[in-house]
Structure 1
Amino acid sequence: MLNADQVQELLEACGAILRGHFSLTSGAHSPVYVQSSLIVGDPVLGQRLARAVSSGPWRSGTTCVLGSVLGGIILAYEVARTLGVRAVYAERLQGVLHLARGFDLTAADRVLVVDDVVITGGTIHELLQLVSSRGAEVTGVGVLVDRAEGPLEFGVPYHVLAKLQVPSWSPDVCPLCRQGRPLTRPRHGRL
């Protein structure tokens, strides 16, 4: 089993932890960005991390793993493969997460929700609501990297592989902006 320090070392080694001046999806600015595509883009590393996520308290009883497009789709597949259950994906359509075409959840499903990087927990909360709206039960939330500034609460078991203590600021008080550092706006895997 990987500990948090080992996970962070793996992320550093594959170049997934970038340093600079970044605009996050939330609009906040940060000196660190986690390029998650580099984490799951390496099949060996992806499998290793998926095994670690799948070892949470939900190992038995989960019937399905749910992740969102883009960040959680590969992780959901790898965790589902490790657990021997099906993977389901949610995609954002007109600003709202929906199950991707052809996928469904029923009241018989026991769902593990996964994501690659959590900053505010907003996507996870949307996924939990999606599961609830289908009458399915959530067995837990598994995340590769939690970089939230405070504790996150989802009302179900929460298993995170690495917790990064990284500051973020609203643009109007960002010290990197005041220093004139160039701002990078990563979107959909592009820097």
Structure 2
Amino acid sequence: MDIAQVYKDANAFLEGHFLLSSGKHSAFYLQSAKVLENPKVAELLAISLAKQVRAAKVEVDCVCSPALGGILAGYELARALGVRFIFTERVEGVMTLRRGFEVKPKEKILICEDIITTGGSAMESAKVVQNLGAKIVGFAALANRGICNRFNVLRNIETPECKLDDSLPLFALEDFVFETYNPQNCPLCKQGTKAIKPGSRGN
């Protein structure tokens, strides 16, 4: 599958001036919600991602996603893998497992996001279920912003901004490496435009 084209067809490959969750600016933004609003496309993407997980022979009992952005991707991946699905959510800024969800001791959990940037939210979710006795077996996303190295890429490259546990695999359908800028050195700001924040924490 041409994942970039899938995003473009869904008007989810945005060009402009964007404020990222990291605080940096970029001329490009991926809005996965627009891709996932089509259930058939979401299903096909999840099936493709599940094939990567199976090919790597990673055993999964459950998929867990951080709310809100990861829920649709995680649910579809769990369905493709034939396992149960749970999600974590922030309560007063702290990632928490609620709504009656439980984790079994040593349950093998795959953390799934729509997009992995630094992996901060994914690691927050991982720590929540890990503290409840689960075993984290890897991370997955429809798209990877290239800050974290994927399973089939050399993992010994230093990426200090990546917060994921680099001893675990990261599965993704595509790497999107966009140039980012610190606000004080942003050429888009110097052109007089204002950065907007279209992500789940902004819009």
Question: Which of 163, 177, 181 lines up with 1:165 in the alignment?
Answer: 177
In structure 2, runs of 5+ residues without a counterpart are 150-161
Q: TM-score scaled to structure 2, two decimals?
A: 0.85
The CA RMSD over aligned residues, in Å, is: 1.9
Aligned length: 187
| TM superposition shift of 1:24 | 1.2
Partner of 1:21: 17
Note the C-alpha offset of 1:90.
Answer: 0.6
2:189 counterpart residue number: 177
Q: Is the 8 A contact 1:67 1:90 kept in 2?
A: yes
Measure, in 2, the Cα distance between the counterparts of 1:85 and 1:187: 28
TM-score of the two chains, using structure 1 as the length reference: 0.90
CA distance in 1, matches of 2:148, 2:66: 23
Offset of residue 97 of structure 1: 0.9
- Summarize the Cα distance change of 1:129–1:47 in structure 2 as closer, same or farther, 3 Å threshold: same
Q: Distance in 1 between matches of 2:110 and 2:87?
A: 12
Provide the secondary structure at the position in 2 that maps to 1:57: helix
Q: Using the alignment, how far apart are the partners of 2:140 and 2:111 within structure 1?
A: 6
1:104 corresponding residue in structure 2: 102
1:75-131 C-alpha deviation (Å, 9 max, x unpaired): 111111111111000101111111132112121411111001111111122122122
Who is 1:90 aligned against? 88
Q: % of aligned pairs identical?
A: 32
Task: Classify 1:149/1:158 alpha carbon distance in 2 versus 1 (closer, same or farther; 3 Å).
Answer: closer
The CA deviation at 1:183 is 2.1
Quickly say closer, same or farther: Cα 1:188–1:60, change in 2 above 3 A: closer
Aligned pair in 2 of structure 1 residues 150, 112: CA closer, same or farther (>3 Å)? closer
**Distance (Å, rounded) in 2 between the aligned partners of 1:150 and 1:85:** 26
Correspondence list, 1:1-191, <5 A: 2=1, 6-58=2-54, 61-149=59-147, 151=149, 152=162, 153-154=164-165, 155-188=167-200
Q: What SS class does the counterpart of residue 55 from structure 1 fall into?
A: helix
Distance 2:38 2:201 in 1: 15
